[in-house]
Structures are given as structure tokens and as C-alpha cells.
Amino acid sequence: MGESAQTRSGKGQVIVWGAVLAAVLALALAQPQFPGLKAYPAEWTLPVTDWLNAGMDSFVGVFKPAFRALSAIMEYPLDWFSGFLGWLPWSVGLVVAVMIGHRAGRWPLAAFTFCALVYILLMGLWPDTMNSLALVAVSVPLAVALGFALGVWGFHSPRVERFLTPLMDITQTVPAFAYLLPILILFGFGPVVGLIAGIIFAFPPMVKNTIVGLREVPSDIIESGLMSGATKGQLFFLVRCRAGLRQILLGVNQTTMAALNMIIVASIIGGSEDIGWRVLSTLRKAEFGESLVAGIVIALMAMVLDRITYGLATRAPDMAPPRGFAQRHRFALMVLGAAVLAYLAARAFPALHTWPQDWTFDPSGPLNTGIETFVLWAKPLLDSVKNFIIFTLVLPLKIGLVNVVGPFTWGFTATIWHALGYAALVVFGAGYAMSRGRTGLAIAVMAFGLILFFGLTNLTWPGASLLLIWFGYRSGGMRLAQWTTAAMVFMLLTGSYEKAVLSVQLCALAVVVSFMIGTALGILAAESDRFSRILRPINDTLQTMPVFVLLIPVIMIFKIGEFSALLAIILYAVVAPIRYSEYGLRHVPKDVIEAATSMGATRSQLLWRVKVPLAMPNIMLGLNQAIMFGISMLVITALVGTDELGQIIYIGLSKGNFGIGFLAGIAMAVIALLADQFCRAWQRRIDAKLEGAS
Amino acid sequence: MPGPVKLSCRNLWKVYGPDPARFFVGSSEGPDALAQKMRAGGHMPAAIDAGFDVHVGETFVIMGLSGSGKSTVIRCLSRLIEPDHGQVLLDGEDLLAKSAQELIEIRRHKLGMVFQNFGLLPHLNVIENIAFPLRLQGLTSAQQRDRASHVIDLVGLKGREHSYPSQLSGGQQQRVGIARSLAVEPELWLLDEPFSALDPLIRRQMQDEFLRIQRVLKKSIVFITHDFMEALRIADRMAIMRDGRIVQIGTPEELILNPADDYVAQFTGEVPRIKILRAHQCAVAIANRPEGLPQVGPDDRMEGLLPKLAASPAGLDVVGQGGAYLGTVTATSLVETLGRIEGAGPVPVAHG
Ligand SMILES: Nc1ncnc2c1ncn2[C@@H]1O[C@H](COP(=O)(O)OP(=O)(O)OP(=O)(O)O)[C@@H](O)[C@H]1O
Ligand SMILES: [Mg+2]
């Protein structure tokens, strides 16, 4: 009975899908006659931008003095710190950093820290690096303090936690650039903007880790603290915080990385002589050698900060019996002693104070020539790869094969026969899938055939809405359909629809590619330990790198444009699917694998029939993460000239128009949240399937 | 001869669910009826009308199946869980009436507790963990060290003072837990399944260790276990719990020989009877016995006497206080007694 009911609903489903696709097709065909179909009529939008600007104006009118005062207060520690770091002889900085590196990760990390700093010195970028470091050094403690305080509050009060969680999700999905303008307006121009942006962007991981760390202290430990006669305060500080400290320190690590990332991004507003600004300004002047040299500094700085904070968080305690003051504070005293010695040495030898100009070395000239030669030499190959991908993937998805195919792109003029042939191919593919009982696949073939033919931008807004809402309903029921409808209404009413389609087009393409590449690599890594070992440091590097840096090599080779944006997003988003699929495959229960092996499964059967299906929940998490990473990178790629919401945010920022920038930011957050909802719905279906099967 | 009462627990109730206090205003039903009413209303009575006394120097064991409410009761005794009804008298003073401040003082000086999963602080090494309660009291570090190293000797952890919990085996970690609970020299010692997380061999070794420590310190103890053999080894008296209710209290022998119901009998059924037989229960008077048979006390356990009996086939003389001859244990009399009680159901308990 259940069987027949299912087939019946399956049939009904196919009929509705057919109707929906037919309607989309009809609308797309009718679109040239009715201009109102393609672009949502401007008369029907709400002037949200004006409202936002007006709201901001009145807000600024009232609160500006308060924010400016806050900004002035913040400038004190910042000035003091950058003054201090600027005054500090490089030799002292080097000695202290290497010693901390040794403490956090023994000799390997000490050596790495040393090499990284020497590179910075050799390139003559020490002062710029110190300016960025000052921003990090001031924003991290503030973000940590804020995050810890909120975390403790959230831990004690479930009501506060319920309020904090969505707030933090939003601060992390609204693209980084979208913060910058309101901060700029409220706090005024200057390095303080980077500081505030860093704090806002970096405190959420601290809150999360604090709550988790405090909550997950085992009840036995809490009870043993109580039975030891702890007062409330002792219980909290000496027992709970200390037992959860590792998790809390991991929060510090994540906060540091987020702050660094944001500070680098914030240098886009200029006015600071920091390392992010150096990368950006040279990139704009197409001085690739210089920007590569400075980009490597950022990457090194990120890696050193990451390894050191991570190492300190997870460090095993010393075995030695601590005795007096000197022994308990041995490390601090040693660092202090070494710093004083280095300082005295720097007083004696000025070369140890300020790195002499003629010890520096500027490889950017030869680098530039090298890059140019390489690009010239590889141009035919690179161009053909680029054109191939643009003409077969990027453009069809955007404006449709019907508009792309032509003598210059595909080498022939499209006729009605080509179109009919294409339609026949799609229908045949769908029919074949149908005959094998794969209804879902058949529908997917039809839908993609349709989209590729007309292009996302030509689907017409009623058609696209219909398709997406129905897809939402099929994936996640009424709730997701409502979500989708709300998102569509938002996009249309605020006039963000067209740009949003372009964002989705670019991001979806990049995410699909990186999901496929990443999952494939993850499967390989799960099957081969050697490959996994090779891949791991590359992943770590890609992930700790501030997003900005990824742009450099891409632009160097492919120049600015949509293709570079695509590549940069793929580079950034590929890590998550690699990690999640490898993790999922490696954590398939042992007994299942043994059972399958004993049944005589070959290696490939084992992989495709057993491991991959069981790892599906994790693989899907990889997709979810890839989407989130893709969207956050999308904004950054606005710098290389894209044409979507990210660009609008960027324009809003550079023109000082709060409304349009912020609106575009919210629109991107809406896309991200909706994508997240879709992923969760698919995830639930997969979980249900796995549960039902077992 | 039991000493004075150290801890007395009377009509103790703990009920999970919203507003349990209302069940106790003006209710006249018996505890079972009341518990039934609570369950019907969706509440979870985890401890129902629990009552027992622990005498000075006595080891009182509570046992029962998982979920029967053992942890709930022992936590109510120290107010880690706030009971909803009843009294807990320590030296005659009601603990439930104490203020938060007084309670902290009592925990600091009179109570010690050992936990199933050890509850050690991961960031402190052995000696710091053990000295932690002393540190909370504000003792100087010299005093802390003195008292901590004393208990470290007692539990046999000398040489591991500076290890961290993650570097210790389960048995060693629990030794730290025991040492920490003893560092404050408590009068009442609470242990919640202290050995359940350990392997059988280590568990046995820790039980011996526990008995040795108890012989030295003579604390008043409430000990929780779900292992009847463990209870048998260490209990002076014990209580059996089922679904929140104490169903029987008595010495292990009493429970084995006279189980109150099938539930208790299930626990005790598998215990080999030889483990509980005492010499006087197997003794028979023999008219013309040989001279110079080895002498044993009337309360000696037969299990421990087996080697002696093997070495002296003619029998063992059971001699009471003042050298009075009570009878002789022979292989035949032992087998007869075993045959009488094994499977024959309840037998009257003989007192020595
Ligand atoms: N916070 C709580 N809320 C609701 N019910 C609870 C709570 N804590 C315990 N219980 C219930 O109370 C009952 C007794 O729990 P308790 O922990 O005392 O059992 P136990 O005898 O110690 O079992 P174990 O041998 O597994 O430790 C259990 O049925 C448990 O589900
Ligand atoms: Mg328990």
C-alpha cells in the first residue's frame, strides 16, 4: 500500500514538475515581447535605499558624537601600540616572536617564525607589518573580552543565548565589506575603522567557544568542585573556566584569525600604511611582483599567528614540579631577559635597531618580468582554457546558449535546427533517466537543459520565482517554500533581483565546480594516506590565508574579470568539501566496512556502494560550507571587477552611499541564509534515508 | 556493637518535574500511592521516602539497577541535588536547613566525595588536584603540601605527584579522586560507584585498597555500587533500591538468606553460599573428637577457612569467647550445611 501511494505521489510530482517547467519555458519564450517579464519593473520596487539612508542619517544625527568619542578613546591604545611597535627594534621583536614560537610549537614553529620574520625584514616590509600587527594586537583582546563576557552571559542565561545565536549568524553572513561603510560613517575615517570592523567580525567565534567550553565541563568535575567546598566564584573561575579553558583558547585562535582577515580587508578604505593596503594599492597599479611579495607577508603572518595561538591553546602542561616564583614564571622571565639583551645590543649596533636599507632586497622587478614572460608564453593556452570555460559554462549560465552560440564563440551560427536538436537531446536524456526509474535525475536534466538554453537572467522573474519556490517546496516542504517566497519578495521589492541573479550565477558555478573538485580530492585523500599527507598543509594554508591574498596569483595570470573571480572563489571554497568528504569517508563505521569486505565487495564497490552513501551527510556539510565560503569570497572578488551584488557593496563603499551598499549586503546575507536552509533540507532527507535504510 | 548514629536520612524525596512541592502539602497517602500519583502526572520521583541510618565507622552500601535512584540519594545527602522533602541529619543537625555559607563550611570540613568518572581537574597535576580543596579553604601552600603528601602515601601514588590526569590510568586517577576526598579528613565519606569505570582486575585491587584504608581511618561511609559482589566484600550493612524506593536494608547475609522479594533475590541469587557461611553455622558437636584440632572463631568466613580444613581433614574446632567450645567443622558438616541452604529458600539467620 505504501508502495503504491509512493508511486502515485511520484507521478503527481512529475506532472507538477512538468507543468512548472512548461510555465518557465513559456515565460522565457514570451519574454522578448513583454519587457516587464525580464526585469522586474522599477515602479514596483520600494525605495528601501532611501529609507536606509534616511534612517542612518537620523541615527548619525543623534549618536554621532557618542561614536566619535568612542573612536577617539579607541585611538589611544592603537596609537600607543603602533608607536610602541614602531619604536621596537626589529631584533627584539624577532627574539620575542621566536621564543613564543618555540613555546607554542617547539623547534619547528620557532624555525618557521624565524624564517617568516627574516623574509619580512629582507623585503623591507617590517614597518607595514607592524602597523597591521598593532591593529591585531588591539582588536583581538577587545574582541576576546567582549566575546568572553557575552559567552559567559549566554552560558548563564538561555534567554540571552537564544538572542545571541541568530545575531552572531547574521554578523558572520553579512559580507565583511558591508560593515565597513556604516562603521566609517559612525566612527569616522582612519585606522579605527579597521579596528572596529575587526572586533565586530571577530567576537562571534569567541562567544560560541566560550559557551561550548563552559557548558561541556563534565558534571563530575563541577560536583567535585562543589564537594571541595567551592564558593560560587571559586567554582566559576577555578573550576569551570579552567576545565573549559582549552575550548575557550581555541576561540581565541579563531578570533585572532577572523580579526586579521577583517583588518586586511578593511585596509581597502586606505589611510593606513599597513600591509593590506600595500597589497591592494600595488594590485590596482598592476604591479604584480610587489603585491605578490607583500601578499606572501600576509600569508606568513596569518600562518604564524594561527600556529602560535593554536599551539598555545593546545599545549600540554609541563611535567616539572613548579616551585618558587622564578620557576613558575620562568618563561616570562626568560623572554624578558632576552628582550632586554636584544635591546641593549640594538642600542650598541644601530643595524640591529632599524633594518638597514641596503640589507633589503626587492625581487619584484625580476618577478614582474618573470610573470610577464610566463603569461606571454602561456597566453595561447591560458586564453583558450579561459574562453572555453567562459563560452561553455559562464556565459550560457548567465545569458543562455541561445544568445552565446555564434560564429565568434562556438564557430557556427545557431539555427532553429540546432535548437531543436538540443531540445531533443535534453528530452532524450530525461527520458532515458526516467526509463531507469531515476525520476529526480530526469527532472534535473530537464531543468538544467532549460536554464542553460535561456540563461538565468532570461528566465523571467515570475518564472524563476515559480521554479525556485516549487523546488523549495519539494526539498523542504511548506516551511522552505515560505522561506523561498519571502526571499524572492525581498529581492524583487528592494530591486535587488537582477544583481542577485548574477551573484547566484557566479557563486553557484564556482561552488559546483569546487564541490566536485573538492569531493573528488577528498575521496582520493581518504583512499590514500600519502595523498592526504600532501594535501593537508595545502588545505591549512588556503584556509588560514586572508581571502584577499588568493586574488593575487589569479589576477596575475588571468587579469581582472569574471573568470578570475570564478577561480578565486573556487580556490577559497574548495577546502571545505575536501575536508568534509575525507572526514566522512574515513569515519564510516569499521564494522560496516568489514561486513562489506567479508561479503566480497571489491575496493571500488566498497567505495561507491558503502562508503560514499554512508559519508553523504558529511559530504553535504561540505557543500553547505562551500556555499558559505563562496558567498563570502564573492564580495572580495568585487575588487577584480564583477557585476553582481558584491560590486554594489563595493560601489556603495567607495561612493559613501550607505543605503545601496548595506542593502546589497543584506541581500547577500539573504542568499546565504536561503542556501543554508536548502542545504539543511537536503541534509534532513539524506539523514532520513540513511535512518530508514538501517 | 554499632557506634552512635553519624548520618540519618529520613523520608527523603526527590521529584523531577515542575513544582514538586505541591505533592507534599496536606497529603495523607502512603509513599507508594503518592509516587504513583506523581508518575501519573508526568513527574519522575527519583528518590521515594528514602530512610536509613549510618553509624560511626560503618560502611553502608546502597545498590540497585541503573536508574534506580542511587546517585540521586547520595547527592541529596550532600545537597548536590536539593531534595524536595525529608531530613538529612548529620550528627543530629539538619543539613537541609543550612544556609549556603554553612553548607560550604560543612563540605570543606566534614564531607568527602568520590565520583564514578573521577571528576579530576584536567589542568592540575596529581598533587594540585589533591590539594585543591585545601587551597579553596585558603591554607598556606606548605600546609597544603603536607596534608596532600600524607594522603598520597595513603593511596600509594608516591612518585606520580607531578603527573597530569591525562597521563594516568583509570585506577590511578581514581586513587587521586580518593586522595582528594580524604585530604580534608572528612567525617562522612560518600562514594558513588567509585570503581565501576575500572576493569575487573583493577576493580578488585582497588577494593582491597579501599578496605585497607578503611581499616586505618574508620570513616563513616555511604558507598554506591551496582555490583553485589563488591557490596558483599565491603558492606557492613546495605540497602537495595528499586525505582526510587529502598526495598530492603540489612547485612549482606540477611539479604542473601532472607530476600524481601524477588527483586532482591535476583541480586543475591548468584552469590555462592560459601561466601557468606560462617564457621559457627557449619559446626556440629562431635563426641569423641581428636585432641589438638586447629581452633577458629565462630564468625570466621568459611570461604577463608577452606585451606585450613584441607590441611586438617579431621576438622576445625570452633571456639567462642573465653575459649568455650562451640562445635567442630568437618568436610561433611560443611557439605551438609551448604546442601541445606543452597536452593532451599530462606533459612533463619543464625547469630553468633
Ligand atoms: N535532571 C533530571 N531530570 C529528570 N530525571 C532525572 C534527572 N536526573 C536523573 N533523573 C532520573 O532519575 C532516575 C534516577 O537517576 P540516578 O542517576 O539517581 O540513577 P542511578 O541509580 O544512579 O543509576 P546509574 O547506576 O545509571 O548511575 C533515573 O531514572 C533518571 O532518568
Ligand atoms: Mg549513578
DSSP E strands: which ranges in B128-287?
A: 188-192, 220-225, 237-242, 245-250
What pLDDT was estimated at residue A539?
85
Which of A109-118, A532-541, A588-597 tops mean pLDDT?
A: A109-118
Q: What is the DSSP string of A602-663?
A: -HHHIIIIIIHHHHHHHHHHHHHHHHHHHHHHHHHGGGGT--SHHHHHHHHHHHT-HHHHHH
In a domain, B67, yes or no: yes
**C-alpha separations of A573 from A507, A545, A578, B153, B245 in Å:** 10, 12, 10, 58, 59
- Considering B237, B268, B299, which residue would you say is the last residue of a domain? B268
Say whether both B326 and B196 belong to one domain. no
Edge-to-edge strand order for the sheet containing B5-16? B93-94, B85-90, B5-16, B44-55, B245-250, B237-242, B59-64, B220-225, B188-192, B111-114
Ligand 2 centre and the CA of B118: distance in Å?
Answer: 13
Say whether both B195 and B98 belong to one domain. yes
Say whether both B291 and B253 belong to one domain. no
> Residue B47: in which H helix or E strand, if any?
strand B44-55
In a domain, B79, yes or no: yes
The predicted model scores a pTM of: 0.80
**Atom of ligand 1 at shortest distance to CA of B73?**
18
> Residue B93: in which H helix or E strand, if any?
strand B93-94
Which of A10-14, B287-291, B302-306 tops mean pLDDT?
A: B302-306
Mutate to test the interface with A, among B74, B76, B104 (most CBs of A within 10 A): B104
Ligand 1 centre and the CA of B67: distance in Å?
Answer: 5
Over residues A261-279, the mean pLDDT reads 81
- Residue to probe by mutation, ligand 1, list B12, B16, B80, B195, most atoms within 8 Å of CB: B16
Say whether both B193 and B314 belong to one domain. no
What pLDDT was estimated at residue B348?
44
Ligand 1 centre and the CA of B69: distance in Å?
Answer: 6
Over residues A124-141, the mean pLDDT reads 89
What pLDDT was estimated at residue B350?
44
Of all residues in chain A, what percent are helix, strand and coil, respectively (each to 5)?
A: 85, 0, 15
Q: Which residues line ligand 1 (CB under 6 A)?
A: B 16, 44, 46, 64, 66-72, 226
Interface check A241 vs B, CB under 8 A: no
- Considering B216, B250, B268, which residue would you say is the last residue of a domain? B268
Say whether both B16 and B73 belong to one domain. yes
Q: Across the interface, which of A218, A229, A317 has its CB nearest the CB of B117?
A: A218
B-chain residue closest to A323, CA distance: B141
Per DSSP, helices labelled H in B218-301 are 228-234, 252-257, 262-269, 279-282
In a domain, B231, yes or no: yes
pLDDT digits (tens, 9 = 90+) for A275-289: 888 888 888 787 888
Say whether both B27 and B86 belong to one domain. yes
- All residues of chain A having their beta carbon less than 8 Å from the beta carbon of residue B120 are 221, 224
pLDDT digits (tens, 9 = 90+) for B23-71: 888 777 888 888 888 888 889 999 999 999 999 999 999 999 888 999 9
Interface check A315 vs B, CB under 8 A: no
In a domain, B173, yes or no: no
In a domain, B41, yes or no: yes
Residue B49: domain span: 5-110+186-268
Number of structural domains in chain B: 2
Say whether both B244 and B212 belong to one domain. yes
| B49 to chain A, closest Cα gap in Å | 24
Contact A229 B75 (CB under 8 A): no
C-beta of residue A503 within 8 angstroms of C-beta of residue A668:
yes
Interface check B116 vs A, CB under 8 A: yes
Say whether both B307 and B201 belong to one domain. no
Say whether both B194 and B336 belong to one domain. no
pLDDT digits (tens, 9 = 90+) for A541-556: 887 777 778 888 888 8
Say whether both B190 and B301 belong to one domain. no
- Residue to probe by mutation, ligand 1, list B71, B77, B224, most atoms within 8 Å of CB: B71
Angle at A336 between CA A326 and CA A206, to 5 degrees: 95
| A216 to chain B, closest Cα gap in Å | 13
SS3 B83: coil
Interface check B27 vs A, CB under 8 A: no
Helices (H) and strands (E) in chain B, counts: 13, 13
Query: How far, in Å, CA of B213 to CA of B224, rounded?
Result: 17
In a domain, B152, yes or no: no
Long-range contacts of A480-486 (CB under 8 A, 24+ apart): A480/A677, A480/A678, A480/A681, A483/A674, A483/A677, A484/A674
Query: How far, in Å, CA of A682 to CA of A475, rounded?
Result: 6
- Considering B241, B268, B295, which residue would you say is the last residue of a domain? B268
In a domain, B131, yes or no: no
Say whether both B88 and B221 belong to one domain. yes
Query: How far, in Å, CA of A295 to CA of B288, rounded?
Result: 106
Say whether both B212 and B293 belong to one domain. no
CATH number of the domain encompassing residue B316: 3.10.580.10
What is this model's ipTM?
A: 0.81
In a domain, B285, yes or no: yes
**C-alpha separations of A66 from A281, B130, B311 in Å:** 33, 52, 97
pLDDT digits (tens, 9 = 90+) for A461-489: 888 888 899 899 988 888 999 999 999 99
CATH number of the domain encompassing residue B245: 3.40.50.300
**Atom of ligand 1 at shortest distance to CA of B72?**
18
